[in-house]
Every structure is written in structure tokens, then in C-alpha cells.
Amino acid sequence: MHINDAVFLEDLCPKFRLRQWRKSIHKFTGKSCIYCGKPSESIDHVIPRSQGGLSTTENCVPACLSCNGDKSDKNALYWYRRQKFYDPRRAMAIRAWLEGDLRLAIRLLQWANPNFKVKNKNYTKDESEYKAA
Ligand SMILES: [Zn+2]
């Protein structure tokens, strides 16, 4: 009885709207995986559906098939912290996304973008040298 209290977007929206919604989620990150930055091919439930996670924008992030499959029904932040490609800025972005602050999440993801890092490599290096001196 209680499990029926959960409302899934899939049940509410016709297929067309569901497709639009999926598209809009991929658009937020420029079609890149929120975890590793590779092209996003799927939508991952941050809180797995098996643990009561809902199909809402706050709980659904763009993910590549590799991350989505590897994470499966583990806790996203716990799983992510153990990955080689772990980036604290992305972890913060995932947290912001979960809280519904998509604007902050997108900003953090832009910050974590590899191109951005390359551009600012020297600056970061100089800063750490300055701190060490
Ligand atoms: Zn990925």
C-alpha cells in the first residue's frame, strides 16, 4: 500500500513529455556524464529506485553507460568518492543537483570541465608554489 504512494514521472507524463524531460536533463550538462565528463548516454537515479529514489529532475542526472552500470544501486556519492576520476567539484555539483540547485550544479560542472582546468593550469601551479614559499 505504502509503495503506491510514490508518484513516478513515468506514470504521470505521456511518452513524448518524458522524452523532452530526458533531453532537458542531458542539456543541463551539455550531454556529458555528471560523474566522469564523458558523453552521457543514460539517466542515472542518484538515489536508486530500489531505495525509494524518485524519477524527478533532482534525483536524475546524466550519466554515461559505464558509470551508470558500475554504480548500479549503490549510493552515488559513496560510489563516486571511490572512482579514479573523482573530482570534489563534481561531488559538490551532484550534491547541489540533489538539492534542486541546478544553477549551482552547472556552475560547478563548468568549473570541473577539463578544458577549464587546462586553461588555468599555470595559475593553479603558481598559487600552490606561492603557498609553499
Ligand atoms: Zn561517466
* pLDDT digits 0-9 by tens, 78-101: 999 999 999 999 999 999 999 999
Q: What is the distance in A from the centroid of ligand 1 to the CA of 131?
A: 33
Q: 116 CA distance to ligand 1 centroid (A)? A: 18
Q: Is the pLDDT of residue 121 over 80?
A: no
In the prediction, which pLDDT does 34 show? 96
Q: For residue range 3-53, list pLDDT tens digits in order.
A: 555 566 556 657 778 888 999 999 999 999 999 999 999 999 998 888 899
- Using the mean position of ligand 1's atoms as its centre, give its distance from the Cα of residue 122 in Å: 27
Give the position of cell 564523458.
38
For residues 29 and 27, give the distance between their C-alpha atoms in angstroms, rounded to a whole number.
Answer: 5
DSSP-based three-state secondary structure for 121: helix
Reply yes or no on whether the pLDDT at 120 is more than 50: no
Distance between Cα 66 and ligand 1 center (Å): 6
- Least Cα distance to 61 among 82, 41, 84, 79 occurs for 41
131 against 33, higher pLDDT: 33
What is the whole-number distance in angstroms between the Cα of residue 13 and the centre of ligand 1? 27
